[in-house]
Amino acid sequence: MPDGESMPMKYPRNAIEAVQSIVLPRPMPPNAVLGLVISLDSSGVKARDLASYLSLIDHVYGRVDPKGLLSYAHRKEGHLEFSEVRAGSVELVISDLVEHGWPLVVVFLVLKYLPEFVRSIAGAWKDFEEARLTRLRRRELRDRIRQDNELAPISENHREQIVELLDRTYTLERDNLPGAQRLAREKVRTVSLRVLSRDSEDKNETRRGE
Protein backbone atom coordinates (compact mmCIF):
# COMPACT_ATOMS: atom_id res chain seq x y z
CA MET A 1 0.00 0.00 0.00
CA PRO A 2 1.58 3.34 -1.02
CA ASP A 3 2.37 5.64 1.89
CA GLY A 4 0.00 8.34 0.66
CA GLU A 5 -2.90 5.87 0.72
CA SER A 6 -2.18 4.60 4.24
CA MET A 7 -1.91 8.00 5.95
CA PRO A 8 -4.86 9.29 8.00
CA MET A 9 -7.37 11.03 5.75
CA LYS A 10 -8.00 14.68 6.48
CA TYR A 11 -11.67 15.36 6.90
CA PRO A 12 -13.67 18.61 7.12
CA ARG A 13 -14.90 18.37 10.71
CA ASN A 14 -17.22 21.39 10.48
CA ALA A 15 -18.83 20.07 7.29
CA ILE A 16 -19.34 16.63 8.84
CA GLU A 17 -20.90 18.20 11.93
CA ALA A 18 -23.17 20.27 9.66
CA VAL A 19 -24.37 17.11 7.90
CA GLN A 20 -24.98 15.42 11.26
CA SER A 21 -27.02 18.37 12.50
CA ILE A 22 -29.17 18.33 9.34
CA VAL A 23 -29.76 14.58 9.14
CA LEU A 24 -30.33 13.84 12.84
CA PRO A 25 -33.14 15.21 15.03
CA ARG A 26 -32.62 17.90 17.64
CA PRO A 27 -32.39 17.89 20.58
CA MET A 28 -30.49 14.64 21.03
CA PRO A 29 -31.81 12.16 23.62
CA PRO A 30 -29.64 11.59 26.72
CA ASN A 31 -26.80 9.12 26.07
CA ALA A 32 -27.76 9.07 22.39
CA VAL A 33 -26.29 6.38 20.18
CA LEU A 34 -25.82 7.05 16.47
CA GLY A 35 -26.70 4.18 14.16
CA LEU A 36 -25.77 3.74 10.51
CA VAL A 37 -28.42 1.38 9.10
CA ILE A 38 -27.99 -0.29 5.70
CA SER A 39 -31.07 -2.11 4.40
CA LEU A 40 -30.42 -4.82 1.80
CA ASP A 41 -32.57 -7.01 -0.41
CA SER A 42 -31.47 -10.41 0.87
CA SER A 43 -32.17 -12.41 -2.29
CA GLY A 44 -29.54 -13.16 -4.93
CA VAL A 45 -26.70 -11.20 -3.30
CA LYS A 46 -23.39 -11.92 -5.05
CA ALA A 47 -20.68 -12.80 -2.53
CA ARG A 48 -17.99 -10.88 -4.40
CA ASP A 49 -20.07 -7.69 -4.62
CA LEU A 50 -20.99 -7.92 -0.95
CA ALA A 51 -17.32 -8.41 -0.09
CA SER A 52 -16.40 -5.28 -2.07
CA TYR A 53 -19.14 -3.28 -0.36
CA LEU A 54 -18.09 -4.38 3.13
CA SER A 55 -14.43 -3.81 2.29
CA LEU A 56 -15.26 -0.28 1.14
CA ILE A 57 -17.02 0.43 4.45
CA ASP A 58 -14.11 -0.97 6.47
CA HIS A 59 -11.51 0.96 4.47
CA VAL A 60 -13.37 4.27 4.74
CA TYR A 61 -13.67 3.80 8.50
CA GLY A 62 -9.98 2.93 8.70
CA ARG A 63 -8.89 5.89 6.57
CA VAL A 64 -10.41 8.39 9.00
CA ASP A 65 -8.73 6.66 11.95
CA PRO A 66 -6.25 9.08 13.61
CA LYS A 67 -3.37 6.69 12.84
CA GLY A 68 -4.42 5.86 9.29
CA LEU A 69 -5.55 2.79 7.38
CA LEU A 70 -2.31 0.82 7.66
CA SER A 71 -2.27 1.06 11.45
CA TYR A 72 -5.99 0.27 11.58
CA ALA A 73 -5.55 -2.81 9.38
CA HIS A 74 -2.68 -4.27 11.40
CA ARG A 75 -3.93 -3.74 14.95
CA LYS A 76 -5.58 -6.60 16.78
CA GLU A 77 -8.55 -4.64 18.11
CA GLY A 78 -10.61 -1.51 17.44
CA HIS A 79 -11.92 -2.64 14.06
CA LEU A 80 -15.35 -1.63 12.85
CA GLU A 81 -18.08 -4.00 14.04
CA PHE A 82 -21.70 -4.43 13.09
CA SER A 83 -23.62 -4.01 16.33
CA GLU A 84 -26.61 -5.87 14.89
CA VAL A 85 -27.71 -7.79 11.78
CA ARG A 86 -31.50 -7.83 11.50
CA ALA A 87 -33.51 -10.45 9.67
CA GLY A 88 -36.05 -9.85 6.91
CA SER A 89 -34.75 -7.55 4.21
CA VAL A 90 -31.37 -7.73 5.90
CA GLU A 91 -30.36 -4.65 7.91
CA LEU A 92 -26.73 -4.08 8.85
CA VAL A 93 -26.37 -1.75 11.84
CA ILE A 94 -23.19 0.02 12.94
CA SER A 95 -23.51 2.11 16.09
CA ASP A 96 -21.47 4.40 18.33
CA LEU A 97 -22.06 7.22 20.79
CA VAL A 98 -23.00 10.40 18.96
CA GLU A 99 -19.97 12.23 20.34
CA HIS A 100 -17.72 9.62 18.67
CA GLY A 101 -19.95 9.04 15.66
CA TRP A 102 -18.44 11.32 13.02
CA PRO A 103 -16.69 8.43 11.18
CA LEU A 104 -20.14 6.91 10.65
CA VAL A 105 -21.27 10.18 9.06
CA VAL A 106 -18.35 9.92 6.63
CA VAL A 107 -19.26 6.30 5.79
CA PHE A 108 -22.92 7.37 5.39
CA LEU A 109 -21.97 10.04 2.83
CA VAL A 110 -19.70 7.65 0.90
CA LEU A 111 -22.49 5.05 0.63
CA LYS A 112 -25.22 7.62 -0.05
CA TYR A 113 -23.60 8.96 -3.22
CA LEU A 114 -21.91 5.74 -4.35
CA PRO A 115 -24.39 4.44 -6.98
CA GLU A 116 -24.78 7.56 -9.16
CA PHE A 117 -21.14 8.58 -8.90
CA VAL A 118 -19.74 5.25 -10.03
CA ARG A 119 -22.36 4.68 -12.71
CA SER A 120 -21.51 7.94 -14.43
CA ILE A 121 -17.77 8.08 -13.98
CA ALA A 122 -16.28 4.58 -13.63
CA GLY A 123 -16.34 3.86 -17.34
CA ALA A 124 -14.31 6.99 -18.06
CA TRP A 125 -11.56 6.25 -15.54
CA LYS A 126 -8.94 5.42 -18.16
CA ASP A 127 -10.25 7.67 -20.92
CA PHE A 128 -9.24 11.09 -19.59
CA GLU A 129 -6.13 12.75 -18.31
CA GLU A 130 -6.21 13.00 -14.52
CA ALA A 131 -6.96 16.71 -14.12
CA ARG A 132 -9.93 16.55 -16.49
CA LEU A 133 -11.26 13.39 -14.83
CA THR A 134 -10.99 15.02 -11.41
CA ARG A 135 -13.09 17.94 -12.65
CA LEU A 136 -15.67 15.53 -14.09
CA ARG A 137 -15.90 13.52 -10.88
CA ARG A 138 -16.29 16.58 -8.71
CA ARG A 139 -18.85 18.18 -10.99
CA GLU A 140 -20.88 14.97 -10.87
CA LEU A 141 -20.74 14.90 -7.08
CA ARG A 142 -21.45 18.62 -6.75
CA ASP A 143 -24.55 18.36 -8.94
CA ARG A 144 -25.79 15.26 -7.11
CA ILE A 145 -25.45 16.88 -3.68
CA ARG A 146 -27.18 20.07 -4.86
CA GLN A 147 -30.13 17.98 -6.06
CA ASP A 148 -30.39 16.13 -2.74
CA ASN A 149 -33.18 17.68 -0.69
CA GLU A 150 -31.90 16.06 2.49
CA LEU A 151 -28.71 18.15 2.40
CA ALA A 152 -30.26 21.27 0.87
CA PRO A 153 -29.61 23.40 4.00
CA ILE A 154 -25.85 22.82 3.94
CA SER A 155 -23.66 25.79 3.01
CA GLU A 156 -21.83 26.04 -0.31
CA ASN A 157 -18.48 25.93 1.48
CA HIS A 158 -19.36 22.77 3.39
CA ARG A 159 -20.78 21.21 0.23
CA GLU A 160 -17.49 21.78 -1.58
CA GLN A 161 -15.54 20.25 1.31
CA ILE A 162 -17.73 17.15 1.17
CA VAL A 163 -17.23 16.92 -2.60
CA GLU A 164 -13.45 16.92 -2.11
CA LEU A 165 -13.67 14.32 0.67
CA LEU A 166 -15.86 11.98 -1.39
CA ASP A 167 -13.78 12.35 -4.54
CA ARG A 168 -10.59 11.52 -2.65
CA THR A 169 -12.24 8.51 -0.99
CA TYR A 170 -13.68 7.08 -4.20
CA THR A 171 -10.34 7.51 -5.95
CA LEU A 172 -8.46 5.67 -3.21
CA GLU A 173 -11.08 2.90 -3.20
CA ARG A 174 -11.40 2.50 -6.99
CA ASP A 175 -10.52 -1.22 -6.83
CA ASN A 176 -13.56 -1.88 -4.64
CA LEU A 177 -15.91 0.42 -6.53
CA PRO A 178 -17.24 -1.84 -9.33
CA GLY A 179 -18.53 -4.57 -7.00
CA ALA A 180 -19.61 -2.13 -4.29
CA GLN A 181 -21.48 -0.04 -6.84
CA ARG A 182 -23.32 -3.05 -8.27
CA LEU A 183 -24.48 -4.04 -4.81
CA ALA A 184 -25.46 -0.44 -3.99
CA ARG A 185 -27.48 -0.10 -7.19
CA GLU A 186 -29.10 -3.54 -7.25
CA LYS A 187 -29.50 -4.63 -3.62
CA VAL A 188 -29.20 -1.71 -1.21
CA ARG A 189 -32.63 -0.26 -0.44
CA THR A 190 -31.73 2.50 2.00
CA VAL A 191 -28.74 3.91 3.86
CA SER A 192 -29.70 6.04 6.84
CA LEU A 193 -28.41 7.61 10.04
CA ARG A 194 -30.63 7.20 13.07
CA VAL A 195 -30.52 8.04 16.75
CA LEU A 196 -30.86 4.94 18.89
CA SER A 197 -31.76 5.26 22.55
CA ARG A 198 -29.37 4.03 25.22
CA ASP A 199 -32.03 1.53 26.32
CA SER A 200 -32.13 -0.10 22.88
CA GLU A 201 -28.36 -0.24 22.78
CA ASP A 202 -28.24 -1.90 26.21
CA LYS A 203 -30.71 -4.51 24.99
CA ASN A 204 -28.53 -5.19 21.98
CA GLU A 205 -25.53 -5.62 24.26
CA THR A 206 -27.52 -8.10 26.38
CA ARG A 207 -28.49 -10.13 23.34
CA ARG A 208 -24.89 -10.23 22.11
CA GLY A 209 -23.73 -11.46 25.52
CA GLU A 210 -26.28 -14.26 25.77
**DSSP string covering 108-153, please?**
HHHHHTHHHHHHHHGGGTTTS-HHHHHHHHHHHHHHHHHT-GGGTT
How far apart CA 77 and CA 18 sit, in angstroms, is 30
Asked if residue 206 belongs to a domain, the reply is no
What pLDDT shows up at residue 39? 94
Q: pLDDT class for 198, splitting at 50, 70, 90?
A: low
Residue 50 maps to a domain = yes
Euclidean distance between CA atoms 158 and 14, whole angstroms: 8
Residue 209 domain flag: no
* CA–CA–CA angle 108, 132, 115 (5° rounding): 25
Per-residue confidence (pLDDT) for residue 87, from 0 to 100:
72
pLDDT level of residue 32 (50, 70, 90 thresholds): confident
53 falls in which pLDDT band (50, 70, 90)? very high
210 found inside a domain: no
pLDDT, mean over the chain: 82
- Put the strands of the sheet holding 91-97 in their side by side order: 84-86, 91-97, 33-40, 188-196
Q: Is it the case that residue 122 has pLDDT exceeding 60? A: no
**208 is a domain residue:** no
- The answer to whether residue 200 sits within a structural domain is no
Residue 104 belongs to a domain: yes
pLDDT over 80 (residue 135)? yes
> Three-class SS of residue 33?
strand
Residue 59 has pLDDT above 70, yes or no: yes
Residue 174 backbone phi and psi in degrees, to 5: -60, -25
Name the domain count of the chain.
1
In the chain, the amino acid numbered 73 is: A
Closest CA to 171 of 137, 201, 136: 137
Q: How many CA atoms lie within 13 A of 147 on its CB side?
A: 9
Please give the share of the chain, as a percent, with pLDDT higher than 70: 81
Rg of the chain taking only CA atoms, in angstroms: 17
Q: What is the pTM of this model?
A: 0.82
Number of residues that this document lists for the chain = 210
Query: Residue 49 domain-assigned?
Result: yes
Q: Which domain holds residue 134?
A: 3-195
